[in-house]
Amino acid sequence: MFKSKSIPTLMLFSGLMSCGSSDTTNTVVADDTSESDTVEVSEGYYDADMFTVLPLSEDTVSCTLENGTSTTCYELTFAANTVGDTEGEGTIGPYCPDSITTPRNEAGLGVYDGATNPGFQSLVDAAQGMDADGYDIIDEDGNIRSGGGGAYSYCLSMPFDSSLTITYLIPTSPEFRSEAYYIETVGSIGVGINGIPIKGDPPSVTTAEAGIGGTGSGNIPALDHCGGHADPAGYYHWHFIPQSINTVFESQEYDFTDLYGISCTNFHIEYEDPTAFAGLAKDGFPIYGAYDDLDSISTVPSESAEVDECNGHTHATPEFPDGVYHYHALETGAPNVPVCLMGSFVDRNDFTVQ
Ligand SMILES: [Zn+2]
Ligand SMILES: [Zn+2]
């Protein structure tokens, strides 16, 4: 099942030069590449062809896993944000609504964990639940406070910085742990196919301390309609598996698509295929959308195939025809990311941020 691959350095260089343009880099063809011009990448489950952007650099380095094993890791550096802007094409957002009368399809989403109407919802609704619980987030004119820094509660949306890069260390030979590792709030899960970090639950409104994820107690971070946003340092990241978020919006529990017309429509994301390869977890195992695509028949893992507590199992996939352990996004969970990992990983929550 291990893949072996030679990547011409010219291709890597071309990826570097066009890092802001995500879907053109795979068309670069290197010619007359000599043996000395190649970087040998073997074993493991990383393959640049499975990503929609090429890394700015990739290498194989020595690393130590959290279980103490000395092994080798892929060292992959990606542009930190490759899925659009908040202006122009407008592929990212919306985030904080102006007021309680803002249409929900023009408002971002949030996960409220207080007493009144908790859960994953439009920020138009979350703000009202928060206000009912005593968080003063709506002013006397019905405007939703945003920005932060004062005495009130706020809807938070941070500007992102597209000049940033992010480096991941991912084991080349994944190893199973003795027991599942549960992802902590905003803990790193892995890297999406656009090179963007995938993280666990966004910060709690009710218990987060100031500084964690940029929020203080009583502030709610805004997520866009593909489940992403920027942290206070400007790094865009996912709290959902975006390729599969529309199954959450269409689910009976949320029904956001029918009720409000909300769906992930960012053209940088293959959101129309919830069976798609969606990235690599930091333990080196692949992550897929909510459904399997076996023999062209889409099946819900929980119905047709046994999955473990991390929503993972082993079988052949289009990318790994000999079989591979892999995670699936939750079909209706919000967030829909796997809640735990079965493999060992390099123990640094935010990888290396450069
Ligand atoms: Zn976040
Ligand atoms: Zn599967």
Expressed in angstroms and rounded, the spacing between residue 191 Cα and the centre of ligand 1 is 14
CA of 304 to the centre of ligand 2 (A): 10
Closest ligand relative to 198 C-alpha: 1
Q: DSSP per residue over 171-207, as a string?
A: ESS--EEEEEEEPPTT-EEEEETTS-EEESSPPPTTT
Q: What's the pTM?
A: 0.83
Ligand nearest to the CA of 235: 1
For the four alpha carbons of 214, 217, 219 and 223, in that order, the dihedral sign comes to positive
Spacing, Cα 324 to ligand 2 middle (Å): 9
Q: Which tens digit of pLDDT belongs to each residue from 163-200?
A: 889 999 999 999 999 999 999 988 999 999 999 999 99
41 and 60 in contact (C-beta within 8 Å)? yes
Which ligand sits nearest to residue 302's alpha carbon?
2
Confidence of residue 2 (pLDDT cuts 50, 70, 90): very low
Q: What per-residue confidence (pLDDT) applies to 87?
A: 56
How many angstroms separate the alpha carbon of residue 326 from the centre of ligand 2? 6
Give the distance (Å) from ligand 2 centre to CA of residue 191.
18
Per-residue confidence at 30, pLDDT binned at 50, 70, 90? very low
Nearest ligand to residue 229 Cα: 1
Contact by Cβ (8 Å): 56, 68: no
Q: What's 71-129 look like in SS3?
A: EEEEEEEEECCCCCCCCCCCCCCCCCCCECCCCHHHCCEEEECCCCCCEEEEHHHHHHH
Q: Note whether 67 and 211 are within 8 A (CB).
A: no
pLDDT digits (tens, 9 = 90+) for 274-295: 888 999 999 999 999 998 876 5
Q: How far apart are the first and last CA of the chain?
A: 33
pLDDT average, residue stretch 36-60: 77
pLDDT of 73-97, one tens digit each? 999 999 888 887 765 554 688 999 9
- Ligand 1 centroid distance, CA of 11 (Å): 32
Closest CA to 106 of 88, 117, 130, 90: 90
State the ligand closest to the CA atom of 200.
1
Q: What is the model's pLDDT at position 262?
A: 96
Report CA(230)–ligand 1 centroid distance (Å): 6
Mean pLDDT of 216-223: 84
Q: Which bound ligand lies closest to the C-alpha atom of 326?
A: 2
Q: Is the pLDDT of residue 12 over 90?
A: no
Query: How many whole angstroms from 301 Cα to the centroid of ligand 2?
Result: 6
Backbone CA torsion sign across 263, 265, 270, 272: positive
Burial of 88 (0-12, 13-18, 19+ CB in 10 A): exposed
What distance in angstroms lies between residue 52's CA and the mean position of ligand 2's atoms?
21
**Smallest-distance ligand from the CA of 306:** 2
Contact criterion met (CB below 8 Å) for 146 and 140? no
Taking the C-alpha atoms of 91, 81, 339 and 351 in order, what is their torsion angle to the nearest 10 degrees?
A: -170
Lowest mean pLDDT among 16-25, 70-79, 222-231, 337-346: 16-25
What pLDDT does 225 receive?
95
- Determine contact, residues 307/301, Cβ cutoff 8 Å: yes
Extract the tokens encoding 86: 């908040």
